[in-house]
Structure 1
């Protein structure tokens, strides 16, 4: 099975220290902007609010990101990168283990479900933002960045699952369908839970979601 080489990908920059004070500063701005957006909503947030929340001048905000919508887009993309980092780390950890191929196929599907459950549970505000504001990215300049990141992420998943499909252990389906079976049920429940409509925490059903995805994607 080929190596993921995930540390070389732009989506995994969280795994290494920031290369510069600029990157560290941008990350700080993004995290504090997220808090502001969650509290006031994107439409209700002004650039002055972001200035006060981040402790950064308006000029610096425009220099690093652009306008308010560009900052919101950066928040969305950073959240997706964080999730991608976690998911690829789980897969890389699995790849390093000596397991029977069938067990590795099962665990490959399940750890992707775990990554979804764990990231959402640990980052509820970021998850809410990602669920609600994809249009901000698709309508702005961040759309190309998100598309490239998504393509790179899917390429890593295809690289991992290809030998398992060839071995007849996983169904030969487009990677987008894999994403739907793996994350769709988790995201649907999470939206209701984060909105207060579901009382039982997402983590309580971690294994239920994982088993469901495996049942849907296992071959035979």
Structure 2
């Protein structure tokens, strides 16, 4: 029952954050949607920032699960990069609410004091991505670019598309994921 209550709170928080926006959502809004008491919410989460962090961790985990080939040490740089982009697009089509939330939090995290842990999570991902890109560049597989530029070239088009994408059948979503994966590779390959 405890995990069910926690899940209800997270689901209600996600709905409220998407409907009202993070800043306009209160713990009372989440309480009303979840049916949980305020005490129950605070039993699981220290506040809105902790709820956002938990939702973001789920989102990142979902993307990572879809991108497992990117972590395979035997994967070529092309396979790893394409897997990451393909994973993002597939995950976003399967979980559009989580994607929209992650996208909102990415824009809020740098300035919101609630998001110290979220900023750390994003920085950790950025550091890992930059290190992997630097290894690829050292191998001569990708162009030597500042990671912020490489990241924008690789993921920017997919993010821009996904912000307005409509739900699609799995086969069409998979084809679109493949298109963005190929575009990302073409944008940075050496």
> What's the TM-score once normalised by structure 2's chain length?
0.76
Quick one: which of 120, 123, 131 aligns to 2:103? 131
- Per the alignment, residue 61 of structure 2 pairs with 82
Q: Is the 8 A contact 1:165 1:171 kept in 2?
A: yes
Q: Is the 8 A contact 1:164 1:170 kept in 2?
A: yes
What is the alpha-carbon root mean square deviation over aligned residues? Answer: 3.3
Alpha-carbon distance, 1:58 to partner: 0.5
Secondary structure class of the residue paired with 1:193: coil
Deviations 1:40-70 (A, max 9, x none): 5556655334224334210232344345x43
Structure 2 gap segments, 5+ residues each: none
Structure 1 gap segments, 5+ residues each: 1-20
Q: Is the 8 A contact 1:51 1:61 kept in 2?
A: yes
- Per the alignment, residue 45 of structure 2 pairs with 65
Q: Does 1:91 align with 2:91?
A: no
* Structure 1: distance between partners of 2:122 and 2:97: 21
- Per the alignment, residue 158 of structure 1 pairs with 130
Secondary structure class of the residue paired with 1:192: coil
